[in-house]
């Protein structure tokens, strides 16, 4: 029997990790998407050292190179937690001509009540740095930074928590993933939004998230 030839896609997927994480946290998702024919670029950046605006400039060369190497293929973006905010800021300033679809996973698009409470704490400020100060629910100062959504965007939110203290801060009756409320993930202009039974910390390794991400990248919609 002749071996089945594997047809590779021309599309590239760029992955962006969350604050205080590294690109290693996205490695399993990278492997999953690679196994489905995508060329994957797992972007790393010093998330606790600079503001979101400065981080955008830091990662720009790697993204520009990936967009050029994609040739006629599209360039998709997938961001976990603050990684989604990095994507929003990047696309507002340096959108590639061959932009494909965007997926945000557990991204605090409307900020986090946890950041509201802790933003003035010295330990929080030291650990999370300038970007940590931009995760608050008052996003009025970030309007120009993030721009508006006029691209295909799918948002995945989790609604399971293993952190009772954080969930108490967010609100006991408010659906949340232990760090971000489901409502905070929503964003005007998004094409689709889905809630999965997952905790914020473990979203990057959640296989339901992987399959939903793949669905949106391929078809522009989530599965039911």
Span 28-73, pLDDT tens digits: 999 999 999 999 999 999 999 999 999 999 999 999 999 999 999 9
Distance of CA 7 to the CA centre of its chain: 28
CATH of 12-218, one of 3.40.50.1110, 1.10.3720.10, 3.40.50.1820, 3.30.70.600: 3.40.50.1820
What pLDDT band is residue 5 in, cutting at 50, 70 and 90? very low
Judged against a pLDDT cut of 70, whether residue 3 lies above it is answered with no
Domain boundaries, the chain: 12-218
Distance of CA 27 to the CA centre of its chain: 14
Kindly report, residue by residue over 144-201, the tens digit of the pLDDT.
Answer: 999 999 999 999 999 999 888 888 889 878 999 999 999 999 999 999 999 999 999 9
Kindly report, residue by residue over 176-191, the tens digit of the pLDDT.
Answer: 999 999 999 999 999 9
């Amino acid at each position: 029997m002749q071996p089945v030839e594997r047809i590779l896609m021309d599309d590239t997927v760029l992955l962006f990790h969350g604050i205080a994480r590294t690109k290693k946290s996205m490695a399993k998702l990278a492997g999953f998407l690679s196994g489905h024919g995508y060329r994957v670029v797992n972007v790393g950046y010093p998330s606790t050292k600079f503001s979101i605006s400065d981080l955008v400039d830091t990662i720009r060369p790697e993204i520009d190179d990936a967009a050029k190497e994609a040739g006629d293929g599209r360039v998709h973006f997938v961001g976990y937690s603050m990684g989604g905010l990095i994507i929003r800021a990047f696309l507002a300033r340096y959108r590639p001509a061959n932009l494909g679809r965007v997926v945000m996973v557990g991204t605090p698009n409307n900020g986090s009540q946890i950041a509201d409470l802790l933003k003035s704490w010295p330990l929080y400020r030291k650990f999370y740095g300038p970007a940590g100060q931009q995760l608050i629910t008052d996003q009025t100062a970030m309007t120009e930074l993030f721009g508006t959504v006029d691209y295909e965007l799918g948002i995945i939110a989790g609604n399971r928590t293993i952190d009772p203290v954080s969930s108490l801060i967010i609100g006991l009756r408010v659906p949340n993933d232990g760090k971000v409320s489901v409502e905070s993930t929503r964003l005007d202009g998004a094409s689709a939004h889905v809630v999965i039974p997952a905790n914020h910390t473990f979203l990057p390794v959640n296989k339901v998230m992987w399959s939903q991400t793949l669905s949106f990248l391929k078809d522009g919609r989530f599965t039911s």
